[in-house]
Amino acid sequence: MKAMILAAGRGERLRPLTDTIPKPLVQVGECSLIEWHIKRLQQAGINEIVINVSYLADQIKNKLGDGQQYAVNIQYSEEPEDAFETGGGIVQALPLLGKQPFVVINGDIWTDFPFDSLSEPQNLAHLILVDNPPQHPLGDFILNANHVSDEAGGDRFTFSGIGVYRPELFAGYTSGKRFPLAPILKSVMQSNQVSGEYYQGQWYDIGSVDRLQQLREQLEGSNI
């Protein structure tokens, strides 16, 4: 199974830090956010990685190269300055991802999620959900057994930014356009085509300078 790391965003919420460095290259502990992902994917046996790039793309490509230093193979999906968002970015990268299910990970999260636990979904998509963080108390989706829905009511969880998708999920969508992933997922939830699981481990959405600092302090006091 291949993996894609979403790394094309501008990182507005981390300014002024991201005025000079792309968000995925922000240092946390011994390496950058995106390097944590690459190392964990490699440890899980996922060695083929696609990264979409736009803002300060050369910094990411110069830092990571072809992935040889991490014992993986990295390919880059180039996007214009006005990046394609999550949905458009994935569709643009489909030729590199191939015809089999693939993992997608947001480049601006940090987690100890075990990627080797992932398998090809029976449905069109499989989402990893986590507890609602303070900055997102209402959550995103309901998880009933292993079924994910956007129905009203019930306990809602937050989408972690980690999912496994079949290429068929994006059938009919055109590359080179800008659109988010969430509406695509919600549309197929109506036909019970999205499964999911709840993860209780460590997960951080690095969406502010304060949360970045919290993660740095957490890693300083751990053996990770």
Residue 210 has a pLDDT of: 75
> Mean pLDDT throughout 58-66?
96
Rounded Cα gap, residues 134 and 176, in angstroms: 35
223 pLDDT above the threshold of 60: no
- Top-confidence residue, 53 or 82: 53
pLDDT score, position 62: 96
pLDDT at residue 12 above 80? Answer: no
Q: Mind listing the pLDDT tens digit for each residue in 74-84?
A: 999 999 987 88
pLDDT in tens, 167-201: 999 999 988 898 999 999 999 998 999 999 999 99
| HSE-up (13 A, CA, CB side) for residue 197 | 14
pLDDT for position 224: 57
Domains in the chain: how many in total?
1
- Is the preceding omega at residue 16 within 30 degrees of 0, hence cis? yes
Instruction: Look at 133-142, 147-156, 197-206 and tell me which has the smallest mean pLDDT.
Output: 147-156
Size (the chain), residues: 224
196 touches 147 (CB < 8 A) = yes
How much is the mean pLDDT over the chain? Answer: 91
**Which residues form the domain of 105?**
2-220
CATH number for the domain spanning 182: value is: 3.90.550.10
Closest CA to 129 of 86, 154, 158, 163: 158
The number of beta carbons lying within 10 Å of the beta carbon of residue 160 is: 24
Identify the helix (H) or strand (E) that includes residue 75. strand 73-78
